[in-house]
Amino acid sequence: MDRSMTTPEKGRKGRLDPSTYMRLSGMGLTMMAVVLAFTFTGHWLDGLLGWRFPLFTILLALVGIAGAIIHLIRETGRK
Amino acid sequence: MRGVALRKTVMKPLIRATSLLFSVLFAGVSFAQHEGHDHAASDTTHVHEVVIPTADVHDGHPNEATGEAHDAHGVAKFNPGEMIMGHVGDEHGWHLWGHTSLPLPILVYNTQRGFSAFSSAHFDHGHKTHGGYMLHEGKLVATDAADGTDAHHATENEALTKATWDLSITKNVLAMLVSVVLMLMIFLSVAAAYKKRGTSAPKGLQSFIEPIILFVRDDVAKANIGPKYERFMPFLLTVFFFILINNLMGLIPIFPFGANVSGSISVTFTLAAITFVLTLINGNRHYWGHILAMPGVPKPVLLILTPVEILGVFLRPAILMIRLFANITAGHIIVLSFFSLIFIFGEINAGLGWGVSIFSLVFTIFMSMMELLVAFIQAFVFTFLSAMYLGSAIEEPHHH
């Protein structure tokens, strides 16, 4: 909405700019994929190290969740 | 305008519902198949009594396209899972009706055997081997069995299968070629009309196509890419019309239409890959700067954000690929499921089948109308998002 005001070319006649919601249309899958990618990287690292405690699986899963949320906030709050 | 508002309020939940149904149906199909295998395994010593209409039961050979499996008494059993998957998938040869299908050329290259070409009719709907190859669950595999051996008793040569490249003109390939011919016919005639009429008012097919082209130019390309949009117009228009025409062709159930081209993951993969490569080639310093080191973000956060952004580069085309594939395939599965209901109930009782067919018909017509909308929306969404990614790749830095 705010975006359509700053770029007059897009939001003419007060219509809803599709790019505002289209940008977020894949967000759910993106968040899921980010968390999974981080978790599996951690799992792979743990397999490589062979420690008894799966430190990197847990750590990177949490980092992945944090990353997904940061990404979400940045994308939704843009402009 | 109202169209956009409608899209937001009505279409979003509907698309979501469609995807949900799709996943539920897929779960159903895999469940049914498991049941079928268990049944086949446990039933070898028992008297033949078919309860579950699934494939691989007894010695019946399922026909993928018609979804028929024969029980021990030779009575055809209807198998909805087989029928639906046979219709949404690709096949060697084009099933027309009943047991009639159009044979298509099999072109296969094997690194050890070399190149060979023959008609898919030799496979006899997957029942026979030919030229050292056979069809296993619709896939071309290598075998050492002699020509004309029953494919169900021939064993696959897995090492040779790995060295095999199936380059056949399958149903989807042929349908794609038909769509290419159709597109050439439409656009060459429209182009000729512009040459002849110049700037005067459009006429006939030209007046139907012109607003769509202008829509892609103004609302998709200009809105997302900005002043440098012209470079990408050929790509965006081609992608839009290719998807749209193949979506619409997929809705017409008679030959040479009805193939599920835009609902084939390899087709959507290729389309998304083109967008991906174009984004990579055209990405400027500003674009890569934002991915590798987002300005105005503290260093520790960058450590997390940069991998996420790099992942995003690959995820965006991946989601583009899945979205088109899932939406179109889901629509086809739903329509075919409504059809299947007629035969599922018809097997219980003929009268019941006729009764259900009325409801099936109404729902099928309703879904086909939905699919007509989805055909346009998905072509639009794919083009719009491609334009958006390209726009972000060539975007110049803002001066605040």
Q: What is the pLDDT of residues B320-335, one digit of tens each?
A: 999 999 999 999 999 9
pLDDT at position A76 is 82
Q: What is the pLDDT of residues B157-204, one digit of tens each?
A: 888 888 888 888 989 999 999 999 999 999 999 999 988 888 888 888
What is the predicted pLDDT for the residue at B76?
Answer: 66
Q: Give residues 4 to 43 of A whose Cβ lies within 8 Å of B.
A: 9-10, 13, 15-19, 21-23, 25-26, 29-30, 33-34, 37-38
Q: What's the whole-number mean pLDDT along residues B205-226? A: 91
Report which of residues B277 and A7 the model is more confident about. B277
Mutation pick from A10, A19, A39 vs chain B, by most beta carbons of B within 10 Å, is: A19
User: Cβ of A10 and B388 within 8 Å?
Assistant: no
pTM of the model: 0.78
Residue B73 has pLDDT above 60, yes or no: no
Nearest residue on chain B to A22, judged by CA atoms? Answer: B385
Is ipTM beyond 0.85?
no
Query: What is the per-residue pLDDT across B5-60, written as a single tens digit (0 to 9) for each?
Result: 444 455 554 555 555 544 544 444 443 444 444 444 444 334 443 344 444 434 44
- Sign of the C-alpha dihedral, residues B163, B169, B171, B176? positive
What is the pLDDT at residue B23?
Answer: 52
Q: Is the pLDDT of residue A3 over 80?
A: no
- Residue A69 pLDDT > 50: yes
- Cβ proximity of B251 and B319 under 8 Å: no
- Can you tell me the mean pLDDT for A31-38? 93
Of chain B, the percentage scoring pLDDT greater than 90 comes to 34
